[in-house]
Amino acid sequence: MAVIDLKAQIGHLVHLQTIDSEIYTLKNEKELKPKEIEASEASFAEKKKHLVSLEESLLNLQKQRKDKELELASQEENIKKLQTQLYQLKTNKEYQAMLQQMEGEKANASVIEDRILELFDQVDKIKNDIAQEKQRLQEEERVYSQQKKNIQDRIKEIEDRLAQLEAQRKQITPNIDQKMLAQYERILSNREGLAIVTVKDNSCQGCNMFVPPQVINLIKMYERIITCEVCNRILYIENE
Ligand SMILES: [Zn+2]
């Protein structure tokens, strides 16, 4: 059996842990990034809804106006028809009745005209609202694009850093006993990226549970790897 300098091995593991801790944090951050982009996208899409509803209202008002214009044209046609009939009437009574009917039709036409004018005003107002909304959305789109770019830049930054860290890792791992490395990596993946921790003031810095003095003595003897009884992480003493 090859003799292992356990103290030196622990030193390598501690070094490896600083790298792995950074890898763990960066990977977690990177995993959240697509969700951030989605959220930003969704918020921008939500902001566009108001414009869509304004544009629908505009179409609706324009259609109403067109209908009213057609209605007015047919009303005016009616009045003209009555006008020509007026002179063909034989009795004064008929003449008066027809005049009265024409007055009624003219009053109707005037109501429709007023409504058309109102609709013109409403269309103008909504066109103005749409122009403002489009300008606002332009600014929102600029903000959204910038946010997205920032996130993508950060992802790239994380990926570059991860590649660096992986390279550093590869320089250290050949110095570590394979079984020990396997144990370390197993704990790393089961314990939130933290496999080796110090004991400070008789407590494990991984889970804060009490570490008895006899266990601390065992750590200091460097005869075998000592793990925390509660969280299973490898324990070591700093500056020993
Ligand atoms: Zn622990």
> pTM score, two decimals?
0.77
Distance 208 CA to ligand 1 centre (A): 6
pLDDT in tens, 16-59: 999 999 999 999 999 999 999 999 999 999 999 999 999 999 99
- Cα–ligand 1 centroid distance for 200 (angstroms): 11
Compute, in angstroms, the gap from residue 10 CA to the centroid of ligand 1.
Answer: 17
Amino acid 239: pLDDT: 75
pLDDT for residue 1: 44
Going from the Cα of 187 to the center of ligand 1, the distance in angstroms, rounded, reads 11
Per-residue pLDDT at 2:
55
Q: Tokens 């429709």 belong to which residue?
A: 112
- Res 10: pLDDT: 96
Question: In this structure, which amino acid lies at residue 167?
Answer: A
Distance (Å) from CA 234 to ligand 1 centroid: 8
Distance 210 CA to ligand 1 centre (A): 8
Determine the distance separating the centroid of ligand 1 and the alpha carbon of 221, expressed in angstroms: 19
Separation of alpha carbons 135 and 200, rounded Å = 59
Output the CA 237–ligand 1 centroid distance in Å. 13
First to last CA, the chain: 26
- pLDDT (tens digit, 9 = 90+) per residue, 160-210? 999 999 999 999 999 999 999 999 999 999 999 999 999 999 999 999 999
Q: 27: CA distance to ligand 1 center in Å?
A: 23
Kindly report, residue by residue over 110-152, the tens digit of the pLDDT: 999 999 999 999 999 999 999 999 999 999 999 999 999 999 9
Average pLDDT over the chain, rounded to whole? 95
Encoded amino acid at 39, one letter = A
For residue 235, how far is its CA from the centre of ligand 1 (angstroms)? 8
Cβ 14 vs Cβ 121: under 8 Å: no
Q: How far, in Å, is the centroid of ligand 1 from the Cα of 238? A: 16
